[in-house]
Amino acid sequence: MNHAVTTAARIVTDVLQPRNVLLVGMLGIGLAAAGHWTGLLWGLLGALCAGLIPAGYIEWERKRGTWGDRHVVDRTQRAPIFFVILGSIGTGSLIMVIGGAPTPILVAMLGLWVMTIGLLAVNTVWKISVDSAVASAVVALLAAVHSPWWLIAYSLTVAVCWSRVALTYHTVAQTVAGASLGAATTAGFLF
């Protein structure tokens, strides 16, 4: 692969990594859920629990030498990350329930929690793209709580999928599976 393509793929995968996508996306979901600025606080809590705490855990383990980088390309090493995510989202959701958070942000958190269970289950037998799942989930959730116009942002999910394949972290099938699982996070909004 030529240097320019590798550089572009690295930029896309770093800029659109799960913690960044969740930070921006959950703020937008929280704002829509509450209908006013207080939703930003709920969104920030969601981003903290779904993205920032797990990213911090990955960085902590990386510094300890457990993993070479944030991508954790060996699927057999990923289970602890999923358990941290589940615990963190669960704790954040409990705080939201106690604090009286708007229902749509709770539904979004539940969708992310269920998606993480799916990622964990699939990961036990096959490597699936978490980055693609998160990018897809956030777009789908924004479309569900704001407007279907947000579906245009799936172009960013496609960019994430491309970058993961271009960097040889995943196959096309692994990114498509991740993106499909991510899109399913909106199922809770159907009910």
Tens of pLDDT along the chain (191 residues) come to: 698 999 999 999 999 999 999 999 999 999 999 999 999 999 999 999 999 999 999 999 999 988 878 888 888 899 999 999 999 999 999 999 999 999 999 999 999 999 999 999 999 999 999 999 999 999 999 999 999 999 999 999 999 999 999 999 999 999 999 999 999 998 878 77
Three-state DSSP state, 191: coil
Longest dimension (CA), the chain: 52
For the stretch 150-173, what's the b/e string if a residue is b when 16 or more beta carbons lie within 10 angstroms of its beta carbon?
A: beebbebbebbbbbbbbbebbeee
pTM of the shown model: 0.95
Burial 41-80 (b: 16+ CB within 10 A, else e): ebbebbbbbbbbbbbebbeebeeeeebeebbbeeeeebee
Neighbours of 131 (CB within 10 A): 26
Q: Say whether 73 sits in a helix, a strand or coil.
A: coil
Closest CA to 122 of 169, 175, 50, 84: 175
